[in-house]
Amino acid sequence: MDEDWLVFHPDPKSPSFCLPDGAVDAHCHVFGPSPQFPFAPERKYTPCNAGKQSLFKLRDHLGFSRNVIVQATCHGTDNRAMMDACRSSGDWARGVASVRGDVSREELVEMHHAGVRGVRFNFVRRLVDNTPRAEYFRIAQKVREFDWSIVVYFEVEDLVSLDPFLRQFTGIIVVDHIGRPNVANGIDHPDFQRFIRLMDENENIWAKVTCPERLTTRGFPYDDVVPFHKAVVERFADRVLWGTDWPHPNMKSHMPDDGALVDYIPRIATTADVQHQLLVANPMRLYWSE
Ligand code: 0GY
């Protein structure tokens, strides 16, 4: 692994917040293990191994029932580790894949059978090489038959250029980490308000209210991120998702305690009804509808 790589928390606390029955960790990854599932040659970082057994152990420890495993860029478009984890979960995990424009229908069918229900478009320059927009349209067209959603990952400064692009998709688009706002700017800043407007004007756009540990500028307990997540949850309760982001790739400041991350949830989803939407109803509708 990279010299400065921070390994996931070895012994997360038991959360004080009791997750509702059937809760879904809707954003997490698996890394390798690399002897079985080598990392991609084009990767921008080399992580520690963090395989399915560790993920499922964490799921049980925190009180989740299900996982949505999002393909991490260190595996490129080789989705085998993610698909293997989905297959061995016994239908308790779904996947979000990364594919190229020339992906075949047979490959998509195989992924669908393994549990894949979405593709990820990644625009974060430190993580991936540029992909032409035309290729994304090609992928979106190919996965429409399977009724998959699209997960997009970008950083706040790219929303101006991405905004018209995202509005062209008619299927469900899920934005990672509420579009990574700069929380030091406050929630009234035009960048964050542009994101709220995008969701306001496009009912097919969902958001993951995730990664306070990444968005914070002040550190744990992430007080500076709460108003951002809370604003999104309150306004769009029927199209938000939550996840741990385990094993927390590329964290530089600190490694979060996953139990403490679960305890963050009631600060942004303050009633039992909204917690149920965020953690159960919404992810089940999106990823387990058949
Ligand atoms: C995340 C965030 C990051 C990385 C990836 O696929 C990835 O490599 O998603 C990041 O470095 O910000 O969502 O896990």
In three-state form (DSSP H/G/I as H, E/B as E, the rest C), the secondary structure along 76-95 is CCCCHHHHHHHHCCCCCEEE
- Both tokens of 22, joined, read 């059937």
Q: Is-above-0.75 flag for pTM?
A: yes
pLDDT (tens digit, 9 = 90+) per residue, 78-137?
999 999 999 999 999 999 999 999 999 999 999 999 999 999 999 999 999 999 999 999
Q: Are 195 and 181 in contact (CB under 8 A)?
A: yes
Residue from 25, 84, 176, 245 carrying the catalytic annotation: 245
**Distance (Å) of CA 29 to CA 74, 185, 249, 279:** 10, 29, 9, 18
CA 42: distance to chain centroid?
Answer: 21
**What are the two backbone dihedrals, phi and then psi, of residue 166, each rounded to the nearest 5 degrees?**
-65, -30
Q: Give the whole-angstrom CA distance, residue 61 versus residue 21.
A: 14
Hey, which of 153, 156, 258 would you mutate to test ligand 1's pocket, going by the most ligand atoms within 8 Å of its Cβ? 153
Give whole-number Cα distances, 182 to 157, 192, 224, 227, in Å: 9, 8, 10, 12
Predicted local confidence at residue 118, as pLDDT: 98
Alpha carbon distance 125, 244 (integer Å) = 23
CA distance 270 to 2: 39
Instruction: State the DSSP code for 120.
Output: E
Protein residue closest via CA to atom 13 of ligand 1: 245
Distances (CA, A) of 243 to 96, 108, 118, 259, 285: 13, 25, 16, 12, 16
How far, in Å, from the CA of 111 to the mean position of ligand 1? 21
Report how far residue 98's alpha carbon sits from residue 139's, in angstroms, rounded to the nearest whole number: 10
| Chain segment 226-241, per-residue pLDDT in tens | 999 999 999 999 999 9
H or E element, residue 196: helix 190-201
Rounded-to-integer distance, Cα 105 and Cα 125, Å: 29
Q: Which residues of the chain fall below pLDDT 70?
A: none
For a substitution probing ligand 1, which of 6, 99, 126, 127 has the most ligand atoms within 8 Å of its CB?
Answer: 127
Task: Looking at 23-103, list the stretches that DSSP marks H as alpha helix, in order from N- to C-terminal side.
Answer: 52-62, 80-87
CA–centroid distance, 129 to ligand 1, in Å, is 14
- Whether 223 is catalytic is no
Q: How far is the CA of 29 from the centre of ligand 1 (A)?
A: 9
Q: Are 124 and 154 in contact (CB under 8 A)?
A: yes
Question: What is the distance between the alpha carbons of residues 146 and 114, in angstroms, rounded to a whole number?
Answer: 13
Q: How far is the CA of 169 from the centre of ligand 1 (A)?
A: 23
